[in-house]
Structure 1
């Protein structure tokens, strides 16, 4: 008989259970109104019921900030989840609970139900006569973000017998498609397949597909063993495990698409040799193959193999052009473009330049590296320059460089139109009866012809060219050439730019000042600073003391120097700017210079020279030998100074006689001709002491200009022979006029001292002559650099015997008094 528990014991059990429940591991219970797996984009509620009396909070994805929730009752909270987009974790925590209880959490997976499988495809691979494998693939659809199961159901039919379905789980083997493979016997003729996919949100199933195995049979891919190539064909060796009725081989180069070669091979056992012709020389070809039975599907493509065809000599001449240099260099630079693979027919190992001088008959050949694209060659009017490309099989046809020594009419009306990144050049054919062979347009950045020359060759009927690849902010120039058989015509174009802006700065300037003339020179702007085609320059000169006085001088872009004249003396600052079609650029570096007063500079120069001369003379004068030489030189050069007659012996004796007397003197100067034998008379008058002071000799009368004199009988005084006056005056008489005589008697009459010797002591005369001769010799020694026949150096010879004492001047006292 069962024992009935007492009421108090039931209460004790309930109390114990309640306590155990309150002190359990979790403080709450959490659940979702949609379950733990939901579809993406759905909305639901998450509830939390707390087991203890506390303040509860709800969190999402372990974020410390609690989410805003709603209160259902005193123990339950809930959170509204709207349009969930991914799997999340929700949790609840009881705050301020007396017991240390753990929070509760819930993981909700969000995804999609599986799509219906599609694109189911099955093939039969025949490995051998006994081994056959069916491979089926399908597309499972979009990603569900849930754990999926996808299985293939296959049912085989042999004759009238159909087996039960077999299920094969699909897998991904590095592909987006799911696939399965299973073996079948050779007796199976038909198979039926479908796919079933499922996850926690649902299950889907595809339609059933029926296959006849003979229609889906596929051989294994062929194996390409080797490719043996000549210059135009290759032989491919193919290995197969099973004999197939069809074999397809494809080939291509790196830049081409696959091309199919028709089946012309011969099979020997398991190896088939396939010959592929119509190939290009020196090309790298890739090959692949596939096979097929009489029925069924083509096999997969084999692994690619590759090989080079052999070389042939180049079949086309090089495209050559040239840049002529000035005649002083007697050379030109030849340029050429590389042949493409089709024309090179091999690896170019070098270029060969041949220069044939028809005048001398000499031929010179130069070998150029295969990496080069230009070469400098001699240039002459009777020379022909040819260029060849060489590979291992031979030389290309010769390319002849045209010569500008024979000119032809140029293209007419050359017009240039600039676009965004291209330039169009148009021209009109020259008016000539000769037909051109071709046109050629060359272009290059301004001043960079030797380094960046480009050209394009056009047909004889072309009248325009479109040049692409023009760099912005770059200035180009070039020319259009018309080519004939033996001559060339040329028309240039300049300053072409597609996109321009103002220059970033002005040129660097140098100045040279000479008086009030300033020569300004500058260098061309670097390419990166031009920002297009420089049209002209402007030189600015500003007076520093008066900034309002600003001068500007404009020069063409081709100039590199400017001469500025007539600047007043002052301090100046100078700078330059450059101009493009977009306007004036920034100023260059500023330099300063000064214009000085020219008169002050000249006066300073003269004073400096005079001071140096004076200092040198003072230094030389300290030497006694120099003093002596200078006295002798001065004595000999002072030709206008004559001895004083008043101190001569002749004058002292004549002073005893008073009166007038006429003297007739015969000059013996070599300048007097034989016809001048008529004597010239001179009146010699005695002057008394009181009248002697009223006359003075004139300093500007030279002894060489003294006239010949003679004594007049009518006025000849009585003895004594010599006048007694201290001074003797000589008056020149003109036989034709008496006025001259009167004029010579006034106070302004020119007085000459007569240096002729009168009759006297012969010994004294000889001594005086010897002394004079010695003086003349000394003068000649001092003035040895004068010509020997100088008129002023000739001695004066008189026919009379008028004797004057030699007067020696003390030069030393002269300089001391000076």
Structure 2
């Protein structure tokens, strides 16, 4: 509580008020009224009155509706429900200056009255043969939030005993000494500040509530039979005090479930008991308890556990046997792998020493059986094809087990099971099937783990012929695929196995398929992939989904059957890059494989051939037509591309002068021309293309060729003016008539040569006409006879003798020398267009004959003649024909005079 006081003038300090009731204990939910009473001595001193009082609960102002002013010194506050009441409750007042002052305060306790104790029970615990304390317990009821005291009261009908007060807890109390065979009245009393309560009274004889100590010194001994064990023990309560009955329980080592001897077999007082029906050669654990024979009272605790082992006995059943048949190298033999399971301890009934295997052919029962004794659980035999009966016996120290029989038929000819199915259930894999109509002796369930990394190791189990489903008893792992096969076994054979694959638990594939292209076309692509391995599947593959898209396009999905490994995408764009991936799905989800890209072709199948083949055919057709055209127009083409050139070898120009030697051997001195040996030579070149007649105005005089110029441009050789000098190709007439344009190639002589005498020799004039069959050159064919109007002397040609020849080193030089056209000033000058002064020296005359090789190599000159004279066309030397550009177009007639100009 907190108080404030006022200082009185006399120096005495006193309180100005108080609250009643002082420190109340209130029941939760009840009504409560408190009064604040002011002292009279403080009224005048401080001007304090009841109407100024303010009530607070834990510094929270109580609403004024709950105030009541009784008089000027007393104010009350009322709470209809104490559930909202808290401590402390204070009475306050506003003094001068509106300062709140605390007058008085109280602590309020809220709680509940005690309930009636319930479920009072007592039990007498045996501590020793003479000590029997009694412990009573009860239910104290609800929590009162107050200090509540409990007392255990008991009495005999005439005597009362001191109360038993609990020490540590409020619901238990121990009475150390009780008397048997006397009724005792017992009850419990509870009290707190709000009231008291007591339990129902319990009247009993303590002997009826005794819990005795369990038997001790328990021992287990083997009996005469392998299925019996004998128990013995000591009781720790006197038979004079009470008679007991017993409970005996036992279990095998490793088992958590207890088995119990029937209670009626142990309902009488005893200190030993023989337990029957146990399994041979099995270790058991035993425990025992006791209570009052009539069932009144409590069972004692279980005694300490003791173990015992039954003796050995013959195995109770034969080992389960099965076989695997492999094809042998020889088709007439089988390789049979026999395998069996070790018996469980409760079936072996001892230590198995060996197994006896007997194999007998069914086709010949009289043939001796083959026997094998092994200590392992498998045996491999090589047998001829046929049907065999295999018998297996397990032996221990006591005897042999019943035989296990297995038929090895030549074929599985009996009815198989149907509708094999699996179901994961309670963390195990359940296998079910539909039984055949025939009677089945038993079933063999065979299974193995399907894996890429190891062989399928077969496990198996036998099941009775009357069941149609069982749990696999092996270590079945999740996310692994198992191949399960069910065989029905009959007394005279077996049915073929029916298989199914199963998973205890599935998951998403560990990876997705890797996709590739098998063939890519213009608008389609053939995709291929490999199935995921069993270790990668983690479940049954239900479907594949192919996702493909272009670089900037939307992704398209296609669902594919899980059995397929190839799919063709169609309606693709040509010459386009695609990205494709594949996802594999199980029941638990899917996983995608890596991305793969491919580009469709620009042209489809056959499109290139459809373009190339017609083009090639058209080209071949054009070429063929061109060849045919050229073949039909070969004469025209030959004329324009490679015209016929006369063959000099067929010309008889070499016969112009038979007296001329065929060969000339000139020395270097003979080839030298003395100064002044030649007269001036004038050569006129007239273009053959000129179709007009020559006139006097069109001709001009031309300069004489000097010796030096003749020497630098080329030397004459052979016939002067015919082989190395310009020859006349056309004759000029005095008239302007059109006869100059007349083509005389067919009637004009090739040449007319006039030979003058050499040094006092009489010249011989020879007229020769060419016998050549070669056609004339183009310039020759267009030659016109221009010599008709001139003097006959001016149109003759003469042979000349010449002392020197051209140097052999200069034979490759051009044979024709062209000069600028010269237009004569008058008609009389036309006869002097060609002037040649020749001086010979030496005694040998100049012959006109040429070597045969020179004649064959040289191009024949076209010689033109007129009515009055003849013209000579020079030929080439040493077989080097002049080019078309170098050939003279035409030449005017030459007149040669010895020692000057000859008369015309």
Q: Which entry has the higher C-alpha Rg, 1 or 2?
A: 2
TM-score by length of 2: 0.46
